[in-house]
Amino acid sequence: MGNTVLHRSLAADLSTAMIYALLRLRVEVFVVELGCPYQELDGHDLDRTTRHYWLAPDGAIEEPQATLRLLEPTDGQFRIGRICTARQARRQGGLRRLLEAALAEVGDAPCVLDAQLDCVELFSSFGFVVNGAEFTEVGIPHVPMRRDASARVR
Ligand SMILES: CC(C)(COP(=O)(O)OP(=O)(O)OC[C@H]1O[C@@H](n2cnc3c(N)ncnc32)[C@H](O)[C@@H]1OP(=O)(O)O)[C@@H](O)C(=O)NCCC(=O)NCCS
Using CA atoms, how far residue 91 sits from 29, 88, 121, in Å, is 15, 9, 15
d(CA 55, CA 99): 11
pLDDT in tens, 79-99: 999 999 999 999 999 999 999
Taking CA atoms only, the protein residue closest to ligand 1 atom 35 is 91
Atom of ligand 1 nearest to the CA of 1: 7
How far does residue 24's CA lie from ligand 1's centre (Å)? 19
pLDDT for 151? 62
Q: Where are the domains of the chain?
A: 4-147
Question: Taking all residues of the chain, what is their mean pLDDT, rounded to a whole number?
Answer: 94
154 pLDDT more than 70: no
Best residue among 119, 128, 153 to mutate for probing ligand 1's pocket (most ligand atoms within 8 Å of CB) is 119
Taking CA atoms only, the protein residue closest to ligand 1 atom 16 is 122
The b/e string for 17-54 (b: 16+ C-beta within 10 A; e otherwise) is: ebeebbbebbeebbeeeeeeeeeeeeeebeeeebbbbb
The CATH code belonging to domain 4-147 is: 3.40.630.30
pLDDT in tens, 124-151: 999 999 999 999 988 899 999 999 976 6
What is residue 49's three-state secondary structure?
Answer: coil
How far does residue 93's CA lie from ligand 1's centre (Å)? 8
How far does residue 124's CA lie from ligand 1's centre (Å)? 13
d(CA 119, CA 153): 16
pLDDT for 20? 98
